[in-house]
Amino acid sequence: MCRLIAMTSSEPLSPIVAMRALDVMREGHDGSGVGLFMSDLGGPFEELKGLPILSGICTGEGVKRLDQFMMNLGFMTKHKVSVRSSKKTPPAGTPRRDVYVIRAYEYPQTWDGLDRREVEFQLMMTRLKLRQMGEENEDMIIYSFWPDVIMIKEIGDPLQVAEYLQLDSEELRARVILAQGRQNTNYAINLYACHPFFIQGIASMTNGENTAFVPNREYLMSRGFPGYMGYQSDSEVFTHIAHYMLNSLGLGIEAYKHIITPLQDGDLESHPDAGFLKQLKHSCRRLIIDGPNCVIGRLPDNSVFLVQDRKKFRPAVVGGRKGLYALSSEMCGLEAAVPDRDKSKDFQPMHLDTVIIASDRSEVRICSQTEPLSPLH
């Protein structure tokens, strides 16, 4: 089973804090891997907020191809962080890699004048192209290419990997951190199968297995959107469903649960937005998931969210204090992440709840699925 921790903080944090929280939840995961997502960056990237950052792993040959490709497109490297593995041998199970890439680029001049949506599309297409090139030659693994976003994924025990990669470096600081201790289930070991997943500013990670994966995947893949691909893990559909909902349907995250686990008859009939929700339930039927799942994610505005599926078979707890909150699979993870909090305010979201913490980190907002949605515009 996966263990998840998300932290959102007014002050930039080192990802090692989240890694320690994962480590205390060690009994719940098998330490087979780690996925890390960071945004709302501090450190040297604070000044480069608008510039896209590429995250991935390359072989020596791959880096050369990457540089050539990016240069041809007109991207200029503005800043790079060397996540250098320490000289000592990697922890058990972790392969030795040539380069962990984290690079911020200056946009090509040819992109001047493109509108935001077009830029976002091109960034995604660049990432997909690099991913495809990497898969062909097995020399690049690309996680994200987006402003203010860094991702690292590796096989091995989370804390050992973090120490090996020296993730406590001053250069890596973020206000939003998602981290996952990964146990690979059902599908082959593949770094692309490791949570969190990312698409155009939206990241999410999931605890549990989605048995409606195949119909969900078929539906997403048939939307004609090139970013809906991959699916080495059944959990990737959660990220893409959120993306589809926000971008194609123009709905807020409060509607997410109405898509993935809609209300049933009686509750639906008595809902103030029954008419709309019924339509949504019908037209998004192929996006209904079948958990048990707990999904924690980050949205482009740096808010973080957590939803439980209908069955609520996966643990999750939310707590913290003004300016620092954590969403964790287990109480001990929360305890490690934010020890100095009012524990009486800890909240365990249930089957109707969506937890949202905005980027001002002022409060934990709980939306129940039975509450009215904000009006459609």
Partner 1 sequence: MLANGTIVPSSLSVRDLLWQVKWDKEKCTLCGRCCAVCPVQAIELGVHRKRTIQIPSLAEIGPSTTSSNVYQVYHGIRQKTDPAYGCTGCEMCNLVCPNGAIAAERSEEVDKQRFHVNQGGQPRRRGGRRNAPDSSNLGTLDRIKFTRISMLTDPALDAGRHEFELRTLLGRVLPPEENIRLYRENGWIPPVREIYPLLIGSMSFGALSPNMWEGLQMGVAYLNEELGMPVRMCTGEGGCPPRLLRSRFLKYTILQIASGYFGWDEIIHALPEMKEDPCAIEIKYGQGAKPGDGGLLMWSKVNKLIAAIRGVPPGISLPSPPTHQTQYSIEESVAKMIQSMYMAWGFRVPVYPKISGTSTALAVLNNLTRNAYAGGLAIDGEDGGTGAAYAVSMDHMGHPIASNIRDCYLNLARLGKQNEVPLFAGGGVGKNGKLAANAAALIMLGASGVQVGKYIMQAAAGCVGSETDRCNVCNIGLCPKGITSQDPRLYRRLDPEKVAERLVDVYLSFDTELKKIVAPLGRSTSLPIGMSDALAIDDKDAADRLQIKYVV
Residue 166 to residues 174, 260, 352: CA-CA distances in angstroms? Answer: 15, 38, 40
Distance CA 173, CA 54 (A): 16
Is residue 320 a contact partner of residue 341, using CB atoms and an 8 Å limit?
A: yes
Part of the chain binding partner 1 (CB under 8 A), chosen from 117-125, 165-173, 304-312, 325-333: 304-312
Interacting positions 210-239 with partner 1 (CB under 8 A): 211-215, 218-219, 222-224
Q: Where do the H-state alpha helices sit in 77-171?
A: 116-137, 158-164
Distance CA 58, CA 60 (A): 6
87, 96, 116, 282: which one binds partner 1 (CB under 8 A): 282
Part of the chain binding partner 1 (CB under 8 A), chosen from 59-67, 90-98, 204-212, 354-362: 204-212
Part of the chain binding partner 1 (CB under 8 A), chosen from 50-58, 93-101, 174-182, 306-314: 306-314
> Tokens 């972790």 belong to which residue?
94
Smallest separation, CB 181 to partner 1 (Å): 15
Closest CA to 319 of 299, 307, 308, 333: 333
Task: Return the number of the residue (29 or 361) whose C-beta is nearest partner 1.
Answer: 29
User: What's 187's DSSP letter?
Assistant: S
Residue 26 to residues 23, 30, 182: CA-CA distances in angstroms? Answer: 5, 7, 10
Rg (CA), the chain: 20
Task: Return the number of the residue (199 or 259) whose C-beta is nearest partner 1.
Answer: 259
Alpha carbon 345 to chain centroid distance?
25
238, amino acid identity: F
Task: Return the number of the residue (163 or 290) whose C-beta is nearest partner 1.
Answer: 290
Part of the chain binding partner 1 (CB under 8 A), chosen from 48-56, 74-82, 278-286, 317-325: 278-286
Distance CA 84, CA 286 (A): 43
Smallest separation, CB 180 to partner 1 (Å): 16
Task: Return the number of the residue (166 or 211) whose C-beta is nearest partner 1.
Answer: 211
Cα distance between the two ends of the chain: 40
Interacting positions 307-336 with partner 1 (CB under 8 A): 309-311, 313
Distance CA 97, CA 164 (A): 12
Interacting positions 181-200 with partner 1 (CB under 8 A): 185-186
148, 157, 171, 209: which one binds partner 1 (CB under 8 A): 209
Interacting positions 235-274 with partner 1 (CB under 8 A): 248-251, 261, 264
Smallest separation, CB 289 to partner 1 (Å): 7
Total residues contacting partner 1 by CB under 8 A comes to: 40
Q: Is 295 in the site for partner 1 (CB under 8 A)?
A: no
Q: Is 284 in the site for partner 1 (CB under 8 A)?
A: yes
Residue 362 to residues 106, 246, 273, 357: CA-CA distances in angstroms? Answer: 33, 23, 28, 8
Residues at the site binding partner 1, with contacts judged by CB under 8 A: 1, 185-186, 208-209, 211-215, 218-219, 222-224, 248-251, 261, 264, 275-276, 279-280, 282-286, 288-292, 309-311, 313, 376
